[in-house]
């Protein structure tokens, strides 16, 4: 659900919550580093590879908690500035973009059928790209989730791999994309998509670590916030509209959903915009047509 308005009190709440989560993440990092030191000491004393491997594992976990703490701290600063009347409403994904060295990133959460159930973006181009992938049913986030492997393309290769999506991406001023699956013990829950990353960033492991941090330290866990401080939009209105349209035109919900996406693509609007019009009664669609009754 998207948070509304510019309420200074709400901004203060955001800053306080972010500082609290930053402190929790920092404490977890400290505990992991104690374990690193313990296993390094045991490795030196015993020479057993087991302790070396354990030290490496705890060090990786510590880095993810450190990254989570840094994201929360930077978001808290922006939220506090907003509370004081300075700057725009903070977006958590903007902090992720900064950490990734780019302006445009998006996070997609998916259902068991790989359909998008929620999306959060750092800026309008990133959100537009995810909306485009949603209506087309094809793109980097979907492939990263389906294959549970990173995917990347740039320039003409984007259009070659995802026809229609590439042209739309170029229209948004974006030329390159890399997506990483968000893996969890229960499976793959979504993808982090980074647009126009600096050369060498994807290969350096920074983006992969960010995906792991988001999955394990931000979206899941005892102090997780899947809503990303109100920055994540649920696609619930689209599915509500699909149910309404299904009754109106007497077709399966899947066909109604496809019709909503087709209408959105044809008129250049988001699926949520078309869905809201259907739910409000201001738009009526007919099977096989993009026009209005």
Could you list the pLDDT tens digit for every one of the 293 residues in the chain?
Answer: 344 344 444 556 889 999 999 999 999 999 999 999 999 999 999 999 999 999 999 999 999 999 999 999 999 999 999 988 887 889 999 999 999 999 999 999 887 777 778 899 999 999 999 999 988 989 999 999 999 999 999 999 999 999 999 999 999 999 999 999 999 887 898 999 999 998 877 777 899 999 999 998 898 877 888 889 988 887 666 667 777 777 777 787 777 777 877 787 777 776 777 777 877 777 887 765 444 44
- Closest to 120 measured CA to CA, from 267, 229, 254, 240: 229
pTM: 0.81
What CATH architecture does domain 93-233 belong to?
2-Layer Sandwich (3.30)
Per domain, the residue ranges of the chain are 8-90, 93-233, 235-280
| Category of 182 on φ-ψ map: left (φ > 0), alpha (ψ -120 to 50) or beta | beta
Same topology, domains 93-233 and 235-280? Answer is no
pLDDT of residue 36: 97
pLDDT of residue 288: 56
- Closest to 144 measured CA to CA, from 98, 106, 185: 106
Dihedral sign from CA coordinates of 265, 188, 194, 20: positive
- Cβ atoms within 10 Å of 85's Cβ, excluding its own: 9
SS3 of residue 228 by DSSP: coil
pLDDT of residue 123: 96
Tokens 């250049």 belong to: 268
Give start and end residues of each alpha helix (H) in the chain: 8-46, 49-83, 92-100, 124-136, 140-147, 156-161, 165-171, 206-213, 236-249, 253-267, 271-280
For residue 214, the 8-state DSSP code is I
Tokens matching residue 48: 């057993």
pLDDT tens profile 223-270: 888 889 988 887 666 667 777 777 777 787 777 777 877 787 777 776
For 235-280, the fitting CATH number among 1.20.120, 3.30.43, 1.10.10, 1.10.287 is 1.10.10
pLDDT of residue 293: 45
- Cβ atoms within 10 Å of 10's Cβ, excluding its own: 18
For residue 280, the 8-state DSSP code is H
Please classify residue 211 by burial: count the beta carbons closer than 10 Å to its beta carbon, then call 0-12 exposed, 13-18 middle and 19+ buried: buried
Distances (CA, A) of 123 to 89, 110, 208: 12, 20, 21
């Amino acid at each position: 659900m998207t948070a509304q308005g510019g309420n200074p009190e709400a901004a203060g709440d955001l800053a306080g919550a972010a500082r609290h989560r930053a402190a929790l993440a920092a404490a977890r990092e400290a505990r992991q580093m104690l374990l690193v030191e313990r296993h390094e000491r045991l490795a030196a004393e015993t020479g057993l590879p087991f302790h070396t491997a354990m030290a490496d594992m705890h060090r990786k976990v510590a880095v993810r908690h450190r990254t989570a703490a840094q994201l929360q701290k930077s978001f808290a600063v922006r939220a506090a500035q907003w509370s004081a009347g300075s700057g725009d409403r903070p977006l958590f994904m903007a902090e992720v973009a900064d950490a990734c060295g780019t302006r445009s990133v998006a996070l997609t959460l998916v259902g068991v059928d790989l359909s998008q159930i929620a999306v959060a973006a750092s800026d309008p181009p990133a959100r537009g790209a995810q909306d485009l992938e949603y209506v087309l049913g094809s793109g980097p986030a979907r492939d990263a989730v389906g294959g549970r492997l990173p995917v990347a393309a740039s320039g003409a290769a984007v259009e070659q791999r995802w026809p229609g999506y590439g042209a739309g991406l170029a229209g948004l001023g974006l030329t390159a994309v890399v997506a990483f699956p968000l893996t969890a013990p229960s499976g793959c829950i979504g993808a982090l998509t980074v647009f126009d990353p600096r050369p060498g960033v994807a290969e350096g492991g920074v983006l992969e670590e960010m995906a792991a941090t988001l999955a394990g330290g931000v979206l899941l866990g005892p102090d997780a916030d899947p809503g990303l401080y109100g920055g994540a939009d649920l696609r619930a209105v689209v599915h509500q509209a699909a149910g309404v349209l299904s009754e109106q035109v007497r077709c399966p919900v899947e066909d109604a959903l496809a019709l909503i996406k087709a209408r959105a693509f044809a008129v250049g609007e988001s699926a949520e915009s078309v869905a809201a019009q259907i739910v409000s009664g201001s738009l009526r669609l007919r099977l096989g047509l993009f026009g209005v009754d």
